[in-house]
Amino acid sequence: MCIIFFKFDPRPASKNAYRLILAANRDELYNRPSKAADFWGSSKEILSGLDLEEGKEGGSWLGITKRGKLAALTNYLEGRPNPDAQGRGFLVSNFLTDSLDSFSYLRKVASEGHLYNGFNLLTADFRASEDTVCYYGNKGSPEPIRLKAAGIYALSNSLLETPWRKLQHGKRRFTSVVDKTLPSDGLVQELLHVLNDEELANTVILIDSEDNVSFTERTMLNCDVTQWSTQSFHFKLRE
């Protein structure tokens, strides 16, 4: 079960507050080849994991750029996926390399949504002038939406905020953590505990009011739930 919890606050009240707190897991087949998160692209500006499966090389499920573009993907649970559909992971990597803003990009994706198996896609722009988070699911409304209200959101293998029991339970746990006053390291560790310890990868992204980004990925080694590797990246957003 893929899960993304995030708290979005485009105008945090205090100097030390976060514009974004995101916790996500990647629930894929353990033997599906992928590359752990790292910077890539011509200028090493993009930070994400990458799919290495044949025919889908270069796709991703979650990533962010140094200029504040962020995208996250979950698959939509459906009975019989089309084996000839386009790779959904390219929806993430294409946004991170594209010049379109988050809403314009999702409008473009919506016009081509029928070419893919079911998916949910979050795109965001974190900039000095304005923060924007948008959502589109090709099994829901034909148009993308802007998340205009600050708040806590949850997304899994159905449409945004679908009230599945496991999702609601996780959202309550996520909320209890982000409501605490914790240093960033402590916040990251508690959020990693909220995520399921038997999924392939857990990721926590923090963006604060001073444009500082923390990206932490916890990855399973050798398809063994007892072996994990954790790495963190820190950088400052730029225009």
Give 143-176 as a DSSP string. S-EE--S-EEEEE-SSSTT---HHHHHHHHHHHH
Q: Quick one: pLDDT at residue 31?
A: 54
- Residue 129: CB atoms within 10 A of its CB come to 7
Which pLDDT belongs to residue 32?
A: 66
Q: What's residue 55's pLDDT? A: 78
Q: How far apart are CA 223 and CA 239, in angstroms?
A: 39
d(CA 75, CA 48): 17
The second-level CATH assignment, the architecture, of 3-236 is 4-Layer Sandwich (3.60)
- Over the chain (239 residues), the average pLDDT of each successive run of 10 is 92 84 79 83 91 85 97 92 92 96 98 96 93 97 94 95 92 96 94 78 94 93 79 94
pLDDT of residue 58: 86
pLDDT of residue 30: 46
Q: Is the dihedral of CA 70, 97, 146, 141 positive or negative?
A: negative
Q: Which helix (H) or strand (E) holds 189?
A: helix 184-194
12: CB partners within 8 A, 6+ apart: 18, 19, 209
Per-residue model confidence (pLDDT) at position 48: 96
Which residues, 6+ apart, have CB-to-CB distance to 104 below 8 Å? none
In sequence order, the 6+-apart residues with CB closer than 8 A to the CB of 63 are 37, 46, 47, 48, 49, 70, 71, 92, 93, 96
**SS3 call for 230:** strand
Q: What's the predicted TM-score (pTM) here?
A: 0.94
pLDDT of residue 46: 97
Backbone conformation region of residue 146, classed left if phi is above 0, alpha if psi is from -120 to 50, else beta: beta
Give the pair of three-digit tokens for residue 149. 């209200």
Give kind and range of the element (H or E) at residue 190. helix 184-194
Helix (H, G, I), strand (E, B) or coil at 192: helix
Look at residues 103, 173, 191 and name the one whose alpha carbon lies nearest to residue 143: 103
Domain ranges of the chain: 3-236
